[in-house]
A and B are shown apart, each in its own frame.
Chain A
Amino acid sequence: MGAVTNYIKDITAAVASTFEGMSITFSHLARRPMTIQYPDKIPVPIQETLPHRYRGILEVDLDICTGCLACERDCPITCITIGIDMNKETKQRYFTHFDIDVCKCMYCGLCSEACPTGAIRHSQEFEGASYNPAGLVRHFAPQAQNLYKPKKGGETEPKLIAKVDIGMKYLDEFATPDGGGAAEKE
């Protein structure tokens, strides 16, 4: 008799679970799909929805770059090339070029951790499509630009104060190896 009850139990279990499963899938017809229809049917640009510590394409704020070459030395695949020259008359050093090859970059973040001023950092930008690999080399010093020299006792020029603050904030929150800044605040 046990075999017969088991047999009938099997059938009722199969019917009941199919019934229940089909009610779950049917209820999904009345739910909004989760899909984000990148790139065109989105309410806000996708860059704005990315998390703060997102490692996008590198960007450099040359105004606060001291030219210490820490990033160039730290880069495991040498995708950063920096050229620095000196004006012999004024003894003022300046960048001849500051190039980052986005093709090579593996978004490890070592450069932004090493940077003393937070000048080099990951942006929220990730759309790097180009018809030509040469187009993916970002030139941050299109013309010669003087190096930044930190003043003793803090920055005084209001324009630069904002930039230094952004850099230090980035270092605090995002570029510490253990993510300490952000984690502590939370």
Chain B
Amino acid sequence: MQSYLDQLIQDGAFAGVPREVVYAIAMVLTALVVLSVFVAPLAGVTSWLERRVWARMQSRVGPNRVGPQGILQWLADGIKNIMKEDIIPAAADQKLFPLAPYIVFMGFLCSFVVIPFGGNLIVADLNIGILYLLAVTSLVVVGILMAGWASNNKWSLLGGMRSAAQIVSYEIPAGLSILTVVFLAGTLSMQGIIKAQGWAPWDWFMFHNPFTFCAFFLFFTAALAEGNRTPFDIPEAESELVAGYVTEYSGMRFLFFFFAEWGNLYVIGSVATTLFMGGWQVPPVTDNAVLLGILQFVTFFLKAYFWVFVAMWVRATLPRVRVDQLMALCWKYMVPLSFICMLGTIGFMFMSDQGRRIFGALTLGFAIATIINFFRRVGFQFRQAKPELYLKPHI
């Protein structure tokens, strides 16, 4: 991106405009394009899809009225929320209260800078990519705490405090799990990490050794917790806290929190894909640069969206944990386990390539066996309930 701009400046395309101004305009334009072309529809469609997937898992139908099968539901929700009154309570902090949703949203949108959609499709391939990502997603906690505090409401404040405690705690297992990959790849750059893997599953870091396999699931769980997703959504546990930090928000500001949440799902999925599942790596099938780019984008998108689906699926499956259970899970189980994973990966780095490959193959075999066993269990559950088979996505 920057090199392309530099090329244009050298060619004199901007006729003596200062370099910084060109950069600034390009930054704003890129942000707008990413926001309007990719992020907004993605978060919207994700919200619709999540409601549909949930509904099917709970024997319901879900939104199916707006547009074909309800696919335009997110537009209707967005328009409704924009047209609603934006209430700022009289007792709320008049400056921080309106600001908080934008901080949350910024924390989420900034992460799109380093997400590699394809071989060349990345806004900026920072050499500290994954570190940057951890840093900007931590900005979300500032916004949530700000929202909780500025609402001047005990539920909001409790929700904000819980969220802060949760995100700060779960940064540790997430960071340690990411560290295993950073060790193996020897770089923090997102593209570098992807290039250190291959297109085939046995070249992915997920199946590098048993410890990275565990680290992947630790990372995914921690990422769900950081994204305030069920079963870790205690900051907005409605049975205890009404709606947590969003209690006092209405209209578009309310929507921004959920926009960030649903968008964050894709960020979680794409980071998991980048770090553990080979990112956009595709088999060498074509030399055509455009076709290859499209193929890479589709591969990356499907992989990332699979994990978005898994997050929805987990949300439909598991009940919300209590606060003490949440903290116990993090500090008593996930932190020690992620340390073990990190140390184990270090151990595997000393192993000969031959021996390492055997363990990688074993891990892959275990994963395949788990998937096969999973579908056998699904078949068992299905047969036990004796329902009629109904595979159509609608009724």
Interface residues of A, Cβ cutoff 8 Å to B: 10-11, 14, 18-35, 37, 41
Contact = CB atoms under 8 A, between A and B. Distances in A.
B58 interface: yes
B390 A31 contact: yes
A176 to B, nearest CB: 37
A21 B390 contact: no
B56 A33 contact: yes
Contacts of B389: 30-31
A30 B390 contact: yes
B377 A28 contact: no
Given A33-B395, A37-B61, A37-B395, A20 B313 contact: no
Given A23-B381, A35-B59, A37-B61, 5 more contacts: A22-B313, A25-B57, A25-B316, A28-B58, A31-B387
B316 to A, nearest CB: 5
Contact of A19 (B59, B374, B385, B395): B374
B61 A35 contact: yes
Nearest to B395: A33
Given A10-B333, A23-B374, A34 B317 contact: no
A29 B314 CA distance: 14
Nearest to B373: A19
Interface in B361-395: 374, 377-382, 385, 387-391, 395
Q: Tell me if A's interface is mostly helix, strand, loop or mixed.
A: helix
Contacts of A18: 317-318
Interface residues of B, number: 29
Nearest to B56: A29
A29 B60 contact: no
A23 B333 CA distance: 24
A21 B314 CA distance: 9
Contacts of A24: 317, 381
A11 B337 CA distance: 10
A98 B379 CA distance: 61
B264 to A, nearest CB: 21
27 contacts: A10-B333, A11-B337, A14-B333, A18-B318, A19-B374, A21-B318, A22-B317, A23-B374, A23-B378, A24-B381, A25-B57, A27-B382, A28-B56, A28-B57, A28-B58, A30-B382, A30-B387, A30-B391, A31-B59, A31-B388, A32-B390, A33-B56, A33-B59, A35-B61, A35-B395, A37-B395, A41-B395
A42 B377 CA distance: 33
B79 to A, nearest CB: 24
Contacts of A30: 382, 387, 389-391
B374 A27 contact: no
A42 to B, nearest CB: 11
Interface centre among B313, B317, B374 (most CB of A within 10 A): B317
Contact of A32 (B317, B380, B382, B388): B388
Contacts of A22: 313-314, 317, 374
A14 B318 CA distance: 11
Contacts of B53: 29
A11 B333 contact: yes
B314 to A, nearest CB: 7
A25 B395 contact: no
Interface string B44-79: 000000000101111111000000000000000000
A117 to B, nearest CB: 44
A35 to B, nearest CB: 5
A19 B313 CA distance: 12
Nearest to A19: B374
Contact of A27 (B60, B316, B381, B395): B381
A22 B375 CA distance: 11
Interface string B301-343: 0000000000001101110000000000000010001000000
A34 B59 contact: yes
Contacts of A33: 55-56, 59-61, 395
The 10 closest A-B pairs by CB, nearest first: A32-B390, A23-B377, A27-B381, A27-B382, A31-B387, A25-B57, A25-B317, A34-B59, A35-B61, A21-B317
